[in-house]
Structure 1
Amino acid sequence: MNKKTKKIVYGALIAALYAVMTIALAPISYGQIQVRVAEALTVLPFFSSYSILGLFVGCIIANMVGGNGVFDIVFGSLATLISAVITYYIGKSNLKYKRYLAPLPPVVINAVIIGIELNVVFKLPLVASMLWVGLGEMVACYVLGLPLLLYIDKNEKIKEMLG
């Protein structure tokens, strides 16, 4: 299989994993108090650019099934896309603690964007929504995502596959 085909297949696999994990854990994946476990995968752009599109597509699919409407499909998915792009650039940087910074963009960006979304769509309190979403993202990205990143970073075969 050529390199371009592998990247497409891996991107599709990431999209499928993100969507399935989010939908399977729907009771904790949507709403003001949420821990979207699939957000742990947002560390993958640290290693490869093609995972960005996979995360974005997976999030679109998950948000289409989630039932929170077009606002969530558009802006929730854009939050994941923006986070993935920033994480990619952190991975390419020379920052000293970049491994520990990589999970941060999804935490901050989702807290802000999804917090605003919950406020606009469901009339939930803005600051409380931002804090709850940020806390859930912190769990997904640091408690689950950071160990995943550190594991991949130590495993040359997986890094080669992703890179």
Structure 2
Amino acid sequence: MKPLRLRIVQFITEAAVIAAMYAILTILLVPLSSGQLQVRVAEALTILPYFTPAAIPGLFAGCLIANIFTGEGIFDILLGPLVTLLAAFLTAKMPSKYLAPLPPVILNAVYVGLLLYYTAELPMVLTMVLVAVGETVACYVIGYPLLLLLEKHYEKIFVRK
């Protein structure tokens, strides 16, 4: 068993790396990362709480940083990361790897759909559907294969105990 201090350092390091990856991917791919039909490629990382609890604060921090640069105003900067935090927590609790990408798809479809409905006056249901499609691409088409790859190499990447 690793000493507590080493485990804390490892947790913080994992969270920081995940936050940086999420923020950088979102900011660099900004044309894809926002709007009614968006594929926020960084959302593929939302499968990481399935493997490590450090991903929960990491995704929250990464989303906060990304939304400061790319968000749809103050509500998105404040609320978007909270939705990501909830999605990450739920992902960590998913009973199977097939369901792991589902929480961010559902929560972001509802949240971003409502946000764009109120801020950009876009049609709510259509916007929710389009956001769900983009989230499905990010979380299942990109994220799920990432999950399978990480699962295959889990011991090499996420060293525990």
With the length of structure 2 as denominator, give the TM-score of the two structures: 0.93
Give me the whole-angstrom Cα distance separating, in 1, the residues matched to 2:128 and 2:79.
15
Matched with 1:27 is 31
Task: Assess if the C-alpha contact under 8 Å between 1:153 and 1:159 holds in 2.
Answer: no
Matched with 2:93 is 89
Q: 1:118 aligns with which of 116, 130, 134?
A: 116
Identity within the alignment, %: 51
Residue-by-residue CA offset, 1:7-57 (whole Å, 9 max, x unaligned): 101100100000000000000101111000000000000011111000000
Letter in 1 for 2:31: P
**Structure 1, unaligned runs of 5 or more:** none
Q: Following TM superposition, by how much is the alpha carbon of 1:67 offset from its aligned partner in structure 2, in angstroms?
A: 4.3
1:8 equivalent to 2:12? Answer: yes
**Structure 2, unaligned runs of 5 or more:** none
Give me the whole-angstrom Cα distance separating, in 2, the residues matched to 1:10 and 1:80.
17
CA 154–67 in structure 1, closer or farther in 2 if over 3 Å, else same? closer
With the length of structure 1 as denominator, give the TM-score of the two structures: 0.92
Task: Assess if the C-alpha contact under 8 Å between 2:71 and 2:77 holds in 1.
Answer: no
Letter in 2 for 1:48: T
Q: Following TM superposition, by how much is the alpha carbon of 1:2 offset from its aligned partner in structure 2, in angstroms?
A: 1.1
User: Number of matched residues?
Assistant: 156
Q: Following TM superposition, by how much is the alpha carbon of 1:146 offset from its aligned partner in structure 2, in angstroms?
A: 0.4
CA 113–67 in structure 1, closer or farther in 2 if over 3 Å, else same? closer
Q: CA RMSD in A?
A: 1.3
Task: Assess if the C-alpha contact under 8 Å between 1:52 and 1:81 holds in 2.
Answer: yes
Give me the whole-angstrom Cα distance separating, in 1, the residues matched to 2:124 and 2:82.
19
Local SS of the residue matching 2:35:
coil
Letter in 1 for 2:12: I
Larger helix proportion, structure 1 or 2? 1
Task: Assess if the C-alpha contact under 8 Å between 1:19 and 1:59 holds in 2.
Answer: yes
Q: 1:140 aligns with which of 123, 138, 141?
A: 138
Give me the whole-angstrom Cα distance separating, in 1, the residues matched to 2:83 and 2:145.
22
Matched with 1:72 is 76
Q: 2:100 aligns with which of 95, 99, 102?
A: 102
Q: Following TM superposition, by how much is the alpha carbon of 1:147 offset from its aligned partner in structure 2, in angstroms?
A: 0.6
Local SS of the residue matching 2:142:
helix
